[in-house]
Structure 1
């Protein structure tokens, strides 16, 4: 089989999901996996796509499996198939190869690319995943035709064959309760990767806080932590120069500081993804600074306390300011802050509160001893536009229009101008709206994706497309509206998400997910997975 990862070498080698799949499959003696890394435009090197291992053409493999994480990578699918000489639409492929898609998109919303795809893998790579490929191997070796193969696998656990499988297809979870027994880690440590010479290591999967805008907090339920001994074993086998810890809630892992000290004892450099402000203790920050960590990233998300209650962020502003104080006191060179703009019902008053909050952050920076140094702590504020995602309470929410988002970004850019050493970066409202369209649409979007593939990209496709993005984005959805992504069952009850949406509109906070105790909670329906 060919395993295809869009984005090019640099991005692909720094992505963990497909590497976990690659490792799982290559450890099976009866399976041969070769890699293809088309760039974001769907091309490998300007010629027909070929594998890294044997330089074989992509079209020569009976199964072409795709790992897709981001909606914008949809464009790479038809373009790469076209470059390989493989018919783009599944209905136009009466014989092999089978085109398969896995990754977060497969259980977030597979509908927009379903017309291109023969089968989706819905969930994590567990024993069912291996059984699927053993079944495929036997069917291919027995000379079965495509129709027979799809009928044979259509109702296997975790398999969604558009138009054939019984829906909704339940997401497969590897070890639903207890620790994370199969943490993802890099197969390839490379100087060409976005994270150079780094072993990326998954510390936890999912998030216990249940922020209403965050798909990861719902599609990866229940949250699970890796075992300390297992992570040590992985590091000792790989023996990398540097370890990058990956997770949605690193500071919630009780073994974080002991593991960092163990890494230092092994003479391994390390880096951490963003941390919750309320998890940054003085002991942890002092240790990070002693080990040379210069940058700390904190997520504030909402401009005001009202907006943070709307999203159920569960973050005390005092804890956030205390984290800033510790960073300034102990000489952090660069503090990165992340916010999201474009919330339903947000007002200028919310951003007036943010202006005051930023002034307090700058005051703390100047007051602390570390802030008086000639090279005081730089602050970078990153702003992204809210994209209401499937399988979150915000799946019913409207998305802010492009003009309003652009005006908000301009307002925020002006907000930071008075402050020395404070910069602001924001995403493109157009790109955010595009992501929203691709995230929330159904199979009718395949036509739009084809137009983008054939006519030079998304902007040109929008001019040619008969559809209207506003129809997908600009209005609040009804309680009983059927969504195209509900061909998948992630395990969280729709009624639970609806109640959370009603609470969001009232800015009411809900307790987070209890994790391994979820079987005793049962409020969101995870016991049915």
Structure 2
């Protein structure tokens, strides 16, 4: 009992530091679940937006649930997973609604279902004794198929309107009628019963912008009020799920509306979106926020949109580093994926940052794109060294992972050993002239398999989780479930078959990439 009390005490202490927490009694209760810890989940703008939307529904209320920081502590004390607001057992709610951001959060979903005392597989939760298990979130823009074995309903795309449809139907229908109804309703997929696959719903403009409901210091983005001045993107990068063909491209929110929704107590403001600096009035918005005495941050800076004035406003708003994404080891790679940045624009961004008095340039990049060769890595080495003469550089490098529903869907993974070889070439070539921050090639491969496989990929994830979650457990699980990436049976070697991606410019592979 003492152990359980300490878990509850920890949650209550975090609640005391929140501003904007919602409490409401209503007939239909939703446990809004995030399969990562609190400090991550509370930095999710979509999660907070749906929390507010459920509370605005007259017959429903929502309480938050997060993956515990210490899952083993719950197991040791046999404490049931409980909600944040009332510390009620999750199994007592009518619905568990999961927001899943990316593929590797599947294991968090498994842990939360287990701690709630619920069977993982949807087929084992028949008979109406268990809560309805629903999943939505950013993952549904790409490939939610691995979620299918574990959920009763998938909510696909932007959910601000769909959540009202869902709770209204769930509160008024029995389980069987509800599932049949949702299978016929656009935006929903009911595994085994139907629903349009990969249909991505679009919220009404009146629901925009998404914004924080709760501000707390215990998050990845400490005490920052997040708001969305634009949604979507007007660009066509071939690797990106949120490209201009997704949900009609970019929709902007007038600065006047954005400013009117920032609460007086918010001293730090984060502007969040896929292409914030593409907003036609972004400098005006930044200047007004900074002039009000607040700090400000921007989630997505595009080098070709930066000006000295824009960077100066960021510096005035407290930024000490400037972050841009190159997303291609060379100009040839950037051209191939339709990334509209040039070396000159990135150099100019570094010069803007230096002039503004910033301390560091952070550059995000990818390695392992189709047709990439050693000469592309060498170009990245040369260019990064050039940038480092302007300003200290931190180079974030991630292996390329092809996502479903993009022009590079079906592209092969470069290979763990190949990626690690390229990263080592990069480190040796830079010889300390820039800080290299790579993400794991092994876990990128796991993400790739989940991104490119169907429901069998989800079952493999369950097997790997049950086996301890090591990389060798994942490899064995994928093999055991017969997982093959999308189009693997149709194409022997995607690198040598550029017709696999008809919208990608035909770029001849180099000798080292062939």
Q: TM-score range by the shorter chain?
A: 0.7 to 0.9
Count of residue pairs brought into register by the alignment: 467
Offset, 1:166: 3.8
Of structures 1 and 2, the one with the larger relative CO (CA 8 A, separation 6+) is 1
Offset, 1:398: 0.7
Matched, 1:379 2:379: no
| 3-state SS of paired residue (1:337) | strand
- Which residue matches 2:66? 37
Match of 1:299 among 321, 325, 328: 325
Give me the whole-angstrom Cα distance separating, in 2, the residues matched to 1:169 and 1:187.
Answer: 29
CA 1:418–1:451: 2 relative to 1, 3 Å: closer
Match of 1:86 among 108, 118, 132: 118
Give me the whole-angstrom Cα distance separating, in 2, the residues matched to 1:38 and 1:317.
Answer: 42
| 3-state SS of paired residue (2:437) | strand
Match of 2:261 among 224, 229, 234: 234
Matches within 5 A, 1:209-288: 209-217=235-243, 218-235=245-262, 237=263, 239-288=265-314
1:25-46 deviations in whole A, cap 9, x for unaligned?
A: 1012210111111147867844
1:332-365 deviations in whole A, cap 9, x for unaligned?
A: 21110111000111111112222222233234x1
CA 1:148–1:180: 2 relative to 1, 3 Å: closer
Matched, 1:349 2:383: no
Matched, 1:97 2:123: no
Matches within 5 A, 1:159-198: 159-168=188-197, 170-175=199-204, 181-198=207-224
- Which residue matches 2:506? 506
The two structures have a TM-score, normalised by structure 2, of 0.85
Q: Which runs of 5 or more residues in structure 2 are unaligned?
A: 1-29, 492-497, 509-514
CA 1:62–1:470: 2 relative to 1, 3 Å: closer
1:341-393 deviations in whole A, cap 9, x for unaligned?
A: 00111111112222222233234x1xxxxxxxxxxx32101100100000011
1:184-212 deviations in whole A, cap 9, x for unaligned?
A: 11111101111111101112222211100
Q: Which runs of 5 or more residues in structure 1 are unaligned?
A: 366-376, 480-497, 509-529
Matches within 5 A, 1:350-365: 350-363=376-389, 365=390
| 3-state SS of paired residue (1:446) | helix
Matched, 1:416 2:430: yes
- Which residue matches 2:18? none
1:479-512 deviations in whole A, cap 9, x for unaligned?
A: 8xxxxxxxxxxxxxxxxxx98923425149xxxx
- Which residue matches 2:404? 390
The two structures have a TM-score, normalised by structure 1, of 0.83
Give me the whole-angstrom Cα distance separating, in 1, the residues matched to 2:343 and 2:44.
Answer: 33
Match of 2:469 among 454, 457, 465: 457
Residues 97 and 135 of structure 2 are in contact (CA less than 8 Å); yes or no, is this contact kept in structure 1?
yes
Match of 2:355 among 325, 329, 333: 329
Match of 1:311 among 323, 337, 342: 337
RMSD: 2.5
1:392-437 deviations in whole A, cap 9, x for unaligned?
A: 1111211111110111111111122152xx2111000001001111
CA 1:44–1:173: 2 relative to 1, 3 Å: farther
Give me the whole-angstrom Cα distance separating, in 2, the residues matched to 1:466 and 1:280.
Answer: 44
Residues 397 and 476 of structure 1 are in contact (CA less than 8 Å); yes or no, is this contact kept in structure 2?
no
- Which residue matches 1:407? 421
